[in-house]
């Protein structure tokens, strides 16, 4: 079913004075999707979220929710609900009053509200005795659940999450990430989640929208973003990667030929599916993730290989990370499963190889 998008953002601009916070953002969000807006601070992701919520206006462009133009519709009347970064629980209301607040505003009677509140605390796995407490008597994780319950109780069509997990410690964060995922699956509401934590986005989202300086750089599934980044910034934003300069020399329907100073490749060509569309002749970058590179022999039958010297070893418990430098000065990162004895030693001259299917070629640019 190709239903109309629940949220459709078309060419939205926003400027504060002369500073452009958003410059031409277009994005369609599907029904029931979990989408993450990711980017460094100041990239415009929160501005975009606030525009959807109705807390900020757009300088130009259209935001539609279920096909309806939201221009001029106040936040109170939008079918959206926001979970704030600082949670914004009302300190003068009990947990029950906080959760029931949206329904109280809709003038529902007390018993209906109480029933819905009970339903919500069960959904959020909160203890019923918390209902009479004030928010500040709860732990950070519990407050988080209360904030989510308050946002969900009015059955919004879009749940907007503004980095609600950013203030929590790592352990609690992991628990609540799992919680969010479970919640999303069980209620089927569309989630738009803003975060600067790409790992979090990869874990949670069906699709990730990477933003930078008011523009969308790439929109895709986590695997697309991770293995097939659109540009060096996206590639570097999500964990470590290797970007090796190559020169594209020709292209036909199936193959793209390339040359490299250092990479040894008998064929000197790649299937077109592994190359960013529209990339013509000239300089390009070959992206290979550290965990896809292996040590090999000089004569080994590997698609691509490279000679290098190990310059650094980091043992991280489950994995071991290496830094290596090629004779021409190319820096590489390699990550392998940890073993009881190190497979490569500091200062060792090695051959490093990787399979062609793990390559992604992208356009050069600033990282």
* Contacts by 184-187, CB closer than 8 A, 24 or more apart: 184/34, 186/123, 187/123, 187/152
253 binds another protein, rule: CB under 8 A:
no
- Alpha-carbon distance 293 to 290, whole Å? 6
**Residue 21 vs 238, nearer CB to another protein:** 21
Query: Whole-number minimum distance, CB 130 to another protein, in Å?
Result: 18
Exactly one of 46, 47, 81, 190 binds another protein (CB under 8 A); that residue is 81
Query: Whole-number minimum distance, CB 18 to another protein, in Å?
Result: 19
Among the listed residues 216, 205, 194, the one whose alpha carbon sits nearest the alpha carbon of residue 55: 194
Query: Whole-number minimum distance, CB 88 to another protein, in Å?
Result: 4
Length of the chain: 367
55 binds another protein, rule: CB under 8 A:
yes
**Contact letters for another protein, residues 7-26 (x by CB under 8 A):** --------------------
54 binds another protein, rule: CB under 8 A:
yes
- Alpha-carbon distance 35 to 160, whole Å? 10
Q: Residues 275, 37, 42, 163: is their CA dihedral positive or negative?
A: negative
Exactly one of 62, 73, 75, 168 binds another protein (CB under 8 A); that residue is 75
Instruction: Write out 182-215 in H/E/C secondary structure.
Output: HHHHHHCCEEEEEECCHHHHHHHCCEEEEEECCE
Stretch that binds another protein, among 102-110, 209-217, 266-274, 313-321 (CB under 8 A): 102-110
**Residue 55 vs 351, nearer CB to another protein:** 55
**Residue 80 vs 242, nearer CB to another protein:** 80
Considering only residues 304 through 333, tell me which ones interact with another protein, judged by CB under 8 A: none
- Alpha-carbon distance 142 to 168, whole Å? 11
**Residue 45 vs 289, nearer CB to another protein:** 45
**Residue 155 vs 345, nearer CB to another protein:** 155
User: What distance, in Å, lies between the first and last C-alpha atoms of the chain?
Assistant: 38
**Residue 80 vs 144, nearer CB to another protein:** 80
What does R_g of the chain's alpha carbons equal in angstroms?
Answer: 25
User: In sequence order, what are the beta bridge partners of 82?
Assistant: 160
**Residue 146 vs 208, nearer CB to another protein:** 146
Tokens representing 6?
Answer: 């629940």
- Alpha-carbon distance 186 to 181, whole Å? 9
Stretch that binds another protein, among 25-33, 99-107, 115-123, 297-305 (CB under 8 A): 99-107
Considering only residues 104 through 143, tell me which ones interact with another protein, judged by CB under 8 A: 105-106
76 binds another protein, rule: CB under 8 A:
yes
Query: What are the backbone dihedrals phi and psi of residue 200, each rounded to the nearest 5 degrees, phi first?
Result: -60, -45
Binding site for another protein (CB under 8 A): 53-55, 74-77, 80-82, 84-86, 88-92, 101-102, 105-106, 150-151, 154
């Amino acid at each position: 079913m190709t239903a109309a998008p629940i949220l459709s953002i078309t060419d939205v601009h926003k400027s504060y004075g002369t500073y452009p916070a958003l410059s031409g953002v277009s994005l369609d969000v599907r029904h029931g999707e979990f989408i993450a807006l990711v980017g460094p601070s100041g990239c415009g992701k929160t501005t975009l979220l606030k525009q959807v919520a109705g807390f900020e206006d757009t300088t130009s462009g259209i935001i539609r929710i279920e096909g309806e133009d939201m221009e001029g519709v106040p936040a109170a009347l939008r079918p959206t609900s926001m979970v704030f970064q600082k949670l914004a629980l009302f300190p003068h209301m009990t947990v029950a009053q906080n959760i029931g607040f949206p329904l109280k505003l809709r003038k529902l009677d007390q018993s209906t509200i109480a029933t819905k509140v009970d339903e919500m605390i069960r959904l959020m796995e909160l203890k019923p005795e918390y209902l009479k407490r004030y928010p500040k008597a709860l732990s950070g994780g519990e407050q988080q659940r209360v904030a989510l319950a308050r946002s969900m109780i009015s059955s919004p069509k879009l749940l907007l999450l503004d980095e609600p997990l950013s203030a929590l410690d790592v352990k609690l964060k992991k628990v609540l990430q799992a919680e969010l995922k479970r919640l999303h699956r069980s209620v089927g509401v569309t989630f738009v989640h803003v975060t600067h934590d790409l790992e979090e986005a990869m874990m949670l989202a069906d699709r990730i929208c990477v933003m930078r300086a008011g523009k969308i750089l790439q929109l895709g599934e986590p695997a697309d973003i991770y293995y097939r980044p659109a540009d060096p910034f996206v590639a570097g934003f999500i964990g470590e990667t290797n970007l090796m300069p190559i020169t594209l020399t020709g292209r036909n329907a199936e193959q793209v030929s390339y040359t490299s100073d250092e990479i040894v490749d008998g064929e000197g060509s790649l299937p077109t599916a592994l190359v960013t569309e529209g990339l013509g002749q000239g300089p390009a970058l070959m992206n290979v993730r550290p965990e896809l590179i292996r040590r090999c022999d000089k004569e080994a039958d590997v698609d691509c290989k490279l000679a290098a010297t190990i310059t650094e070893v980091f043992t991280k418990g489950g994995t071991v990370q290496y830094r290596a430098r090629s004779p021409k000065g190319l820096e590489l990162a390699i990550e392998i499963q940890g073993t009881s004895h190190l497979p490569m030693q500091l200062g060792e001259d090695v051959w490093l190889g990787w399979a062609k299917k793990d390559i992604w070629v992208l356009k050069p640019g600033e990282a």
